[in-house]
Structure formats: C-alpha cells, structure tokens
Amino acid sequence: MTEDNHSLTTEFILIGFSDYPHLKMLLFVVFFAIYVITMMGNLGLVVLIFMERHLHTPMYIFLGNLALMDSCCSCAITPKILQNLFSKDRLISLHECMVQFYFLCLAETTDCFLLAAMAYDRYVAICIPLQYHTMMSKQLSIQMTMGSYIAGSLHPMIHVTLLLRLRFCASHQINHFFCDVLPLYRLSCVDASINELMILIFSGSIQILTITIVLISYLCILYTIFKMKSKEGRGKALSTCASHFLSISIFYGSLLSMYIRPSSVQEAEKDIPTAIFYTLVIPLLNPFIYSLRNKEIINAMKRIMKRKPHNILKQIPSVTN
C-alpha cells in the first residue's frame, strides 16, 4: 500500500479476535447465541407492541423504536464478527467500513434521543399526571420519535464525510472486531485531529444534551416521589422508572467511556471490552430489562399466547387502522 493510495480504494483487515484461534468455535457459538436472542427479543418486543392496542401509548412507542434500533445495532456488527471468525483474510473495504459505522452510529444516536424522550415521558406521567394526555399526545410522541431518527441519520453523515478526507498509508490492520472510526484514525497518515475534534464535539454535545434531559427529569421525579405520603404510591412510581433508569445507566456509561474519555484514540486495547458491551450486550439485555419487570408487557404476552393463530393474523391489519 503506497502513501498515494486514496482512502476510497483501501481495504483493511479486522484483527478482531484473531489472537485467540483456539477459542474461535466457542466465540462463534457465544456470539451467534447473543445475536439470535437479541434479534428474537427485540423484534418480538416490536411485534408485541405493534399488535397490542393497550401498548399504543407514548412510552411503548419509544420502547418499540428503541428495540428496533437495538436490532439495527446488532445487525450492523454481529454478522461480520461471525464471518471473520472463520475467514482467512478478514478483509473489509473502506466502503463497508463506512456503511457499518453509519448504521451503528445511527442506532446509538437514535437510542440517546429515545431514552431522553422516555425520561421526559416518565416525568410527565409521575410529576404532572393530570396533564399527561395533553402534554404527551400520540402526535407529539410520533414527532419526538421522528426527530430522534432524523438526528440519528444526520450525525453519522458528518463523520463519514470527514472520513473521506483521510489517507491510509501506515498500516491496513484494524485492531478491532468492527470498523469504528477511532481505530481508523490511528491508521491515517493525514492528521486526524479535526475528525477527533468533531467526534468529541458532536458525540459529546448529543450525550450532554440527552443526559441533561434525563437528569433533570429524574431529579423532578425523585422530588415528586419523596413528597408522596403513600408508600404504595412511592413504590409504584419507582417501579415504573427502575427499568428505564437501569438501561440508561448501562448505555450512557459505556458510550461515555468509549468516545468521551480523552485517551480513547490512543488506547486501542481498551476499546474492545467497552465496544463489546455497548454493541452486543446492551441490545441483548434491553428487551429483558424492560419486559421482565413490566406487568403490562407480561400481561400482553399472556394475552397473545392465549389467542388462536388465525385470530392473531386477523388482528395484524387492524392495528394500522
């Protein structure tokens, strides 16, 4: 590879888990199981929310789209991991790199805004319950969801566009299991400081904005809960927020440690465990976090299981009416 080669013609090798050839069968089984369970859990949750009229509320609209984005995240990463575990060359073109990063960044950015929207929804439901149906109308929830998708689509476009200005002449080996922009910056023979700065500014701004919304919402929620005189009321209010708060803590914690820590571009070996967590583990856990402690989800699943198959098929078109 020469220094004159433009980035668009470059191919890379994903090192991934090649340091553990004796574990490739075990890794394949583990990652394949994670992928199948993730897709079944998230898409099953989407279908359940779509079919059950009782779940056609703002909170579950956000949750269904969150599950859809988790599926997108898993689809962007896991198939390539499974392929590379038994591939001899483990090659990926820059074009494939950009596509993979685009959909991963789309999913993660959209998740940030959806989680913030869910926090605001819980704030209105607990702190201003009498005005809930006015303040959180179905139309507003759809607009907030569409806004999340628009922001999620635009954000990766900035970084993909900036990626095209780089040239790669030093090495073509990416010390990662997927094509993230941070490992690519390490391989650039052109100064990537502008790219790094844009990652810090845009990713940092999105996370600070959405985390601020979440924190303000939960501070108001906690204040309202502590003012409640009924222990039963406090317990019910806390239970409605527990799953969402747990999901937020895991999600933002891993993202902040990956993209916001100052040394993230220099310390390649520290990226992989964090990346595994936010690209594979979180999409796997979210359906269970939101389902196992949610009585409405559990009751909806029981109703679906009791119905005859032909009744379920009849109901599917009626949901869109």
pLDDT at 157: 93
Mean pLDDT of 242-262: 70
| d(C-alpha 122, C-alpha 58), whole Å | 10
* Residues 235, 225: Cα–Cα separation, whole Å: 9
Alpha-carbon distance of 185 to 167, in angstroms, equals 10
CA dist 217 and 281 (Å) reads 26
Least confident of 30-34, 129-133, 269-273, 313-317: 313-317
pLDDT at 271: 65
**pLDDT exceeds 70 at position 270:** no
- Residue 117: CB partners within 8 Å, gap ≥ 6? 62, 141, 144, 145, 148
- Tell me the pTM: 0.85
- Distance, in Å, from the CA atom of 300 to the CA atom of 39, rounded to the nearest integer, reads 19
Residue 190: pLDDT band (50, 70, 90) is: confident
- The predicted model gives 190-201 an average pLDDT of 87
Q: What percent of the chain has pLDDT over 70?
A: 85
CB 199 within 8 A of CB 159: yes
Q: Which two three-digit tokens encode residue 239?
A: 């239970």
Instruction: With a cut of 60, say whether residue 47 has pLDDT above it.
Output: yes
Reduce the DSSP state of residue 171 to 3 states and report it.
coil
Which pLDDT does position 39 carry in this prediction?
95
Q: What percentage of residues in the chain have a pLDDT greater than 90?
A: 31
Task: Report the pLDDT value the prediction gives residue 152, as an integer from 0 to 100.
Answer: 94
- What would the mean pLDDT of 158-183 be, rounded to a whole number? 82
User: Which position has the higher pLDDT, 254 or 49?
Assistant: 49
Please give the residue that has the higher pLDDT: either 320 or 73: 73
- Specify the 3-state DSSP secondary structure of 285: helix
Which one has a higher pLDDT value, 73 or 180?
Answer: 73
According to DSSP, the β-strands at 11-14 and 91-93 are antiparallel
Find where tokens 């796997």 sit.
Answer: 284
Helix residue ranges, H only, the chain:
24-51, 58-85, 94-127, 132-135, 138-163, 181-187, 193-198, 204-227, 231-255, 271-276, 282-292, 295-306, 309-319
Q: What is the mean pLDDT of the chain?
A: 81
